[in-house]
Chains A and B, each alone.
Chain A
Amino acid sequence: MTAGRARPAAAAEVTLAVRDMHVSFPTPDGVVRAVRGASFQVEPASTLAIVGESGSGKSVCAQTLLGLHAAADVTGEAIFGGRDLLAMSEDALRKVRGAQISMIFQDPLTSLHPLHRVGWQIAEAIGAHQPISRRDARARAIELLDMVGIPRPASRVDDYPHQFSGGMRQRAMIAMALALRPSLIIADEPTTALDATVQAQILQLLQEIQREHGTALLMITHDLAVVAGLADTVLVMYAGRPVEIGDRRTVYRTPHHPYTRGLLGSVPGAGGPIKKRLVPIPGQPPSLIQLPAGCPFHPRCPFAFDRCKTEEPSLRPVSGAGGHVSACWLPAEPARPAPPAQPPDAQGRQP
């Protein structure tokens, strides 16, 4: 199953193509099946958002791509630049990581080393991948800090991470991620720890960078508001599996999977007037060690019928919109009238 933007993309246009990725972790309590068959692709200058709640496997997906789970059992493939990331040796992966794919984590305080100056850390990231003199690396670090909007970069380059505010640290992380002009940035909850006004600044910065450099962005988040503003394609994950994929407007306007509908009903303002009573999803997400039989969502699903309890559905096209797929036994709704003409997503968005 491939999922991209509404129009089918030629293979050459794809930055990252993941096929049937499975990740499981042996633990004393049993095998945790964190990801169970994820397939998706990310294209240049576009954003794929993986949405899900705690334990949906969204972060494991991202971390596995970069080989950050040494103890995990991983199958499937992830083709990036003609090579399979999941089959690469640690050494080969290290060369890709940081240079061609970089990652931005949620908590910039724990991802920056507290005892090294910010500029030094950026310079080191550059030096690890290409020969560069200390002076040039420092100059490049200042340039990058300036680019991400750190005021007085020439003096702040010598600050330690604790001297930066939360927003500035996240900017520094982005500067580091951009240092080697990667073609793919994986951002795992990049603004969750930040205040609204700072979040707006950071997301705007990411969008600008994407526009200027044509970077592909894989965004992992639980925040449906961020997805609504930023994503080209949305992938909803539940219990380790993608349950619905489609372009942003289709998924928000005509969600098919009951879990997606439940998520949208749980957020004030997403499913109608802000004062409307919320419609939460009953119950809890399942344990990834002992998944329910059939569709893992059936114990919480208001529409579940017999088949849902025994047979797990796989993704299939729904609603007629290109690339809109859902893993649910409910009938695909008849194609709805096309929404009013929209400008192409990547360019038509408000900055």
Chain B
Amino acid sequence: MTAANGADGGRPLLRLTDVVKHFPVRQSLVGRGGASVRAVDGVSLSVSEGETLGIVGETGCGKSTLARCASRLYPLTSGRIEFDGQDITGLSRRQLRAVRRNVQMMFQDPFSSLNPRRRVGSIIADPLVIHATVPRAKLRARVQELMELVGLNPEHYNRFPADFSGGQRQRIGIARALGLQPKLLICDEPVSALDVSIQAQIINLLADLQDELRLTYVFIAHDLSVVEHVSDRVAVMYLGKIVEVAEAERLYAAPRHPYTAALLSAAWIADPDQAAAREQIVLRGEVPSPVDPPSGCRFHTRCPWAQERCAAEEPPLLPAPDAASHLTACHFPLAAGQKAPARSVP
């Protein structure tokens, strides 16, 4: 399988090769054993230094699982993960420590990801203490420096998470993640729990920090406008597979995979004229179960363009004729502006 490489030829910082993660399903008493949720099912992807890779997809497509695999929070079922040229797939917990300094995660829910009984100063200091990167005597100064960096009042290091609003808590999460000066920050829905005005504050903060600290981001979200705004490249997932990867501008302007096209056409745009002008591809039915995904192309059961071959043969990720960095897993990729065949909406 072709690895989806960074577009601008930057040094690959993170490289996933055929990553698979299956979760066993606990069956009911009468059910047969051995079934598994195929959450991530053969993903190859690479992230270049300094870029932001967006990952989009709907609930259950495996984007969060992929993020947790990439940061080795989950052990892989199979596949290989390299970080900064080093194979980290089989590292032990102890060996992983050094990697964890460089790969940090930021989570969606700022209410459940911070311990409510601990003061924010000590929450932010945790990674510094665990990795012993800062002498005890300088700990408070470093924590306050981090709080200032993310736009929190450094005087508030003694407060509890409950004293902060959602946006401020997300800033605490960022400060904690940045303490070890990581190279890669994996953000899993970092702004979706926030009000729009606060969302914009956090998005701008992440952009500033990237410039200042030369960070690389993997940015996972279901909000397509936010992902387009922040990402250099975007990968689209469906049922545990990557169906398309391209530079953000290209992907949004001329999607080649029918699922990407449908997803983009379904996204509501905060502009009345664009909202009126768009043509929506409404998909039939529901996403199939990842326990028993469809044969061939996993999208064929809902694809308005599906043909016989799609049910039989799984399409590989192949580059577009005019752009090597635009990869699509489809037997019949769309030409620019191709319309969906007429089909009644269920």
Contacts and interface: CB of A to CB of B under 8 A. Distances in A.
A225 B225 contact: yes
B226 interface: yes
A152 to B, nearest CB: 11
Interface stretch (A92-100, A119-127, A262-270, A309-317): A262-270
B164 to A, nearest CB: 10
Interface in B143-168: 165-168
A264 B225 CA distance: 13
A349 B280 CA distance: 13
Given A222-B196, A262-B197, A197 B269 contact: no
A62 B195 CA distance: 19
B59 A195 contact: yes
B286 A168 contact: yes
Contacts of B277: 350
Interface stretch (B9-17, B68-76, B110-118, B201-209): B201-209
A167 interface: yes
B271 interface: yes
B323 to A, nearest CB: 19
Contact of A266 (B200, B262, B282, B286): B200
A199 interface: yes
Contact of B201 (A228, A263, A269, A280): A280
Given A225-B269, A229-B275, A277 B59 contact: no
Nearest to B224: A196
Contacts, number: 139
Interface in A149-208: 149, 151, 165-168, 195-201, 203-204
Contacts of B130: none
Contact of A268 (B166, B229, B263): B229
- Residue among A165, A166, A270, A280 facing the most chain B CB atoms (10 A cut-off): A280
B58 A277 contact: no
Interface in B199-256: 199-201, 203-204, 207, 222, 224-226, 228-229, 252
Interface of B is mostly: helix
B261 to A, nearest CB: 11
A60 interface: no
Nearest to A193: B59
Contacts of B59: 166, 195
A51 to B, nearest CB: 10
B114 to A, nearest CB: 18
Interface in A296-351: 348-350
Nearest to A351: B280
A151 B285 contact: yes
B198 interface: yes
Interface string A265-282: 111111000110111111
B272 interface: yes
B271 A269 contact: yes
B272 A248 contact: yes
A131 B277 CA distance: 46
Interface in A221-280: 222-229, 248-249, 252-253, 262-270, 274-275, 277-280
B196 A53 contact: yes
Given A197-B266, A229-B268, A278 B229 contact: yes
Interface residues of B, number: 47
Nearest to A224: B270
Contacts of B280: 200, 204, 350
Interface string B179-209: 0000000000000000111111101100100
A284 interface: yes
Contacts of A203: 268
A272 B272 CA distance: 13
Interface string A208-228: 000000000000001111111
Contacts of A222: 195-196
A121 B274 CA distance: 39
B279 interface: yes
Contacts of B266: 196-197, 199-200
Interface string A30-50: 000000000000000000000
B276 A348 contact: yes
Contact of A228 (B198, B269, B283): B269
A63 interface: no
B270 A269 contact: yes
A329 to B, nearest CB: 21
B229 A279 contact: no
The 7 closest A-B pairs by CB, nearest first: A225-B268, A280-B200, A266-B200, A268-B229, A270-B270, A200-B266, A195-B58
18 contacts: A53-B195, A166-B59, A196-B224, A196-B263, A200-B266, A223-B268, A228-B272, A229-B268, A229-B269, A248-B272, A268-B203, A268-B228, A269-B225, A269-B274, A270-B270, A278-B204, A284-B167, A350-B275
Interface of B: 58-59, 165-168, 195-201, 203-204, 207, 222, 224-226, 228-229, 252, 262-263, 265-280, 282-283, 285-286, 345-346
